[in-house]
């Protein structure tokens, strides 16, 4: 059973942030859900949602406070080490920041850690290096 339906990021520039992910991973938009406060893109069976800060109030949530540290890290799977290396360069060209250069994890994944233009943590992983 696939329980995860959607993950969402809140952003002052939710359109720009959504376009960062759309362009980096060539994600198709769920155009029926497009609004002045939301963009959604599919990654397999899971939607990545991008919401304007107004969504905090709409959902009854407290807005995230600066300085709280990382609370989320997306992990995107790439098929090869070469594809991962190319994705790192593409992310940097689109405003992402490299946090930790490509490395082998103790569980034998090839991985890089970045931040998107809003500072959210992203892990890129190749599970079969």
Beta-carbon count within 10 A of 2 CB: 7
pLDDT at position 63? 77
pLDDT at position 74? 87
Q: What domains lie within the chain, and their CATH numbers?
A: 6-59 (3.10.180.10), 73-126 (3.10.180.10)
Beta-carbon count within 10 A of 86 CB: 12
End-to-end CA distance of the chain: 28
φ and ψ of 42, to 5 deg:
-90, 135
Mean pLDDT of each 10-residue bin along the chain, 129 residues long: 84 95 97 95 95 86 72 87 97 96 94 93 90
- What is the reported pTM? 0.85
φ and ψ of 25, to 5 deg:
-110, 5
């Amino acid at each position: 059973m696939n329980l995860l339906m959607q993950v969402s990021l809140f952003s002052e520039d939710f359109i720009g942030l959504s376009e960062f992910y759309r362009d980096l991973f060539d994600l198709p938009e769920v155009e029926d859900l497009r609004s002045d406060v939301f963009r959604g893109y599919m990654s397999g069976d899971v939607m990545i949602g991008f919401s304007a800060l107004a969504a905090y109030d709409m959902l009854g949530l407290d807005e995230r406070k600066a300085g709280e540290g990382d609370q989320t890290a997306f992990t995107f799977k790439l098929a090869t080490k070469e594809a991962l290396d190319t994705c790192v360069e593409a992310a940097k060209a689109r405003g992402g920041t490299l946090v930790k250069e490509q490395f082998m994890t103790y569980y034998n994944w090839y991985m890089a850690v970045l931040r998107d233009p809003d500072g959210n943590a992203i892990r890129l992983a190749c599970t079969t290096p």
